[in-house]
Structure 1
């Protein structure tokens, strides 16, 4: 993978990592309760789950991309649909998102880092959207003129680093973000801005080719 390609994809991976979701809401909650360091340590759990899901995806990645234009198109349009879906969902989400997350996932103050890591792991491993990211979106970041496996490894490591940064940001900004979430107008502005970025990303992905 060239340096220029890596630099180009980093902002996109950070956008994925920073998007609102169960793991980031958990990091925010952990930050409110015990500080951003706790959020970062707990993110070990989500990244362990993501490493497993990425390995599962990578096992059949090369054959799907290289051998079939049809399957490449299928994967590509799954990625477009996913980005468009989360963009619209984020745009339309209500100001009660945090309360709903707490009630659905049973987030509570945990007494140890081990339990927080375990919680993040199970939230991530049970999220079907994660496997779709690795199988439908990551392939669009690859240069098909060079070996696929090393590129996928670099993308995976970069994504997991972005997840640690995201956990820190949500943790250190927990109280401020909660203030925005308690305000319906503030949450609407935040969600519309993030939603617009994902819709834009879906449009860019739709124009991509097999190379």
Structure 2
């Protein structure tokens, strides 16, 4: 793989990562609720989800998913339902008292991690996008496995960095949200964002 081809892929990854989606919403929500350190666990979960998607595409299963209407819509609606569920959970948090909110700060790292993984692997558009994108940056004369590793690492590092940036931005705002009323507004905003992400996913067609 030549440098110019890799550089073009890097730019594409940056644009894709910066475009806000369910992953960014989740990162900011976790950062504001649990702090920056806990958001890194969520970020790690997102990247594990990315690695799973890249592996599926690299193994050729992504093309099958892109062509199979049943598989596509099964994963798609699992993602929609999960995002809407997360949105409803955020709305329900607005009715709890401050002591309950403090206890929820101890939410397990495993739950935060698996939630992030599930958000990424239930986004079939990500796999379809990778199926369409990755082949454009593969040199047929080079090693397929080596090039997939380079592209995969690039994508994960870029997304990891951008999500950390979203989390850091969220923590800078979090100190302004201290009262119960502010917490309620925050939860409703993120609830709407999760539900909105699910609604947008519902509008995605297989093509």
- Shared fold (TM-score, shorter chain, > 0.5): yes
Unaligned runs of at least 5 residues, structure 2:
68-83, 94-103, 177-184, 186-207
Question: Could you say what the CA RMSD is over the residues aligned between the two structures, in angstroms?
Answer: 3.2
What is the Cα deviation at residue 101 of structure 1? 8.9
Please give the secondary structure, in 2, of the residue aligned with 1:123. Answer: helix
TM-score (normalised: structure 1): 0.58
Q: Once the two structures are superposed, what CA deviation does each residue of 1:142-171 show, in whole Å capped at 9, x if it has no partner?
A: 223322221111111111111211221111
Distance in structure 1 (CA, Å) of the matches to 2:85 and 2:157: 24
Q: Does residue 96 of structure 2 align to residue 112 of structure 1?
A: no
Q: Which residue of 1 aligns with 2:164?
A: 168
TM-score by length of 2: 0.59
Q: CA deviation at 1:24?
A: 0.9
Provide the rounded CA distance (Å) in 2 between the counterparts of 1:30 and 1:14. 22
1:105-140 CA-partner distances (Å, limit 9, x unpaired): x45766132211111011111111121122111211
Aligned mate of 1:144, from 124, 140, 144: 140
Aligned mates of 1:55, 1:28 — CA distance in 2: 26
Q: What runs of 5+ residues in structure 1 fail to find an aligned partner?
A: 65-73, 76-99, 183-211
Q: What does 1:27-46 align with in structure 2 at a 5 Å threshold?
A: 27-46=27-46
CA distance in 2, matches of 1:4, 1:50: 24
Q: How many residue pairs get matched?
A: 145
The 8 Å contact of residues 27 and 170 in structure 1, kept in 2 or not, is answered as yes
Give distance in 2, aligned partners of 1:36 and 1:138. Answer: 32
Residue equivalent to 1:93: none
For 1:171 and 1:144, locate their aligned partners in 2 and report how far apart those are by CA, in whole Å: 38
Q: Deviations over 1:161-207 (max 9, x none)?
A: 1121122111111267899xx9xxxxxxxxxxxxxxxxxxxxxxxxx
